Amino acid sequence: MKYPSLGFGLGLRKEHYNAILDTSPDVDWFEILTENYLVEGGKPLYFLDQICERYPVVMHGVSMSIGSSDPIDLKYLSQVKSLADRTKAHWISDHLCFTGLDGVNAHDLLPLPYTEETVKFVSEKIRQTQDYLERRILIENVSSYISYKQSEGMTEWEFITAIAEESDSLMLLDINNIFVSAFNHGFDPLDYLDGVPPERVQQHHLAGHSQYDGYIIDTHDNDVVEGVWDLYAEAVKRFDGVSTMIERDDNIPELPYLMKELKMAKEISAANKRSAQ
């Protein structure tokens, strides 16, 4: 069973702390970057505590490295669990990837080979993580720019579905990441949407990217492009009641600018829910 839907939210960024507290924008919820708040005291927690009094929050991390062959970092999970208790986070998410090996952090979200062996290995680590956190987590699809020879015979959507089902976890389906990977690898993004089980999809990310000659990089520093909006419209038809947010990680605009994008997401969702009925 999924968590209750939260509606339409934004990624919480330090550039907007004061504007949020001063203007109380019409945002249903905020997603916090987990690693930004694994600290003791200081301004980040000062602002976070105030915002948590006014809005629901969820947590989104980049350091779980659930696909790494390294053992689970229990110290990190302990910090994550404490932060979840502090914020009363509605759920916790991270990426289906690895971020390093042998204790060395690559500071990137590295894709995994789509094999049965990887499915079993990662699913077991997710189960152990969920047991420790005492809650189901969300796993997010990452953008990718390479493929592994070992992945022949299994698609990305079959891979993430197999892991979600074997580990009994949920999915954070990043629409922009599907768009980027579909372009880079030459698959139909609608096949991706059709290939994942709706009952596992808890959240959507919408973000921008940078297009170059022959490939796309997932930069999260631009506006959501028309093609991603179109793909989101198709997602709405397939997945009901999925919490959706605008994710911006760099080149951060003023809060009202992002509110316009959030309004667009609401309008597309409303229009396509009606057309699907």
Residue 1 lies in a domain: no
Q: Write the pLDDT tens digit of every residue in 161-200.
A: 999 999 999 999 999 999 999 999 999 999 999 999 999 9
Q: Write the pLDDT tens digit of every residue in 127-137.
A: 999 999 999 99
Residue 2 lies in a domain: no
Percentage of the chain modeled with pLDDT above 70:
96
Give me the pLDDT at residue 31, please: 98
Calculate the CA dihedral of residues 232, 237, 243, 245 and round it to 10 degrees.
10
Q: What is the CB neighbour count within 10 angstroms for residue 38?
A: 17
Give me the pLDDT at residue 108, please: 77
The CATH number assigned to the domain holding 213 equals 3.20.20.150
Residue 257 lies in a domain: yes
Residue 20 lies in a domain: yes
Residue 240 lies in a domain: yes
- Residue 277: pLDDT band with limits 50, 70, 90: very low
Q: Quote the CA–CA distance of 171 and 194 in Å, as a whole number.
A: 14
Q: Is the pLDDT of residue 276 over 80?
A: no
Residue 248 lies in a domain: yes
Residue 192 lies in a domain: yes
- Structural domain count, the chain: 1
**In which domain, by residue range, is 21 found?**
8-276
Q: Find the distance separating the first CA and the last CA of the chain, reported in whole Å.
A: 23
pTM for this structure? 0.95
Q: Is the pLDDT of residue 252 over 60?
A: yes
What average pLDDT does the segment 3-15 reach?
97
Give me the pLDDT at residue 82, please: 98
Residue 3 lies in a domain: no
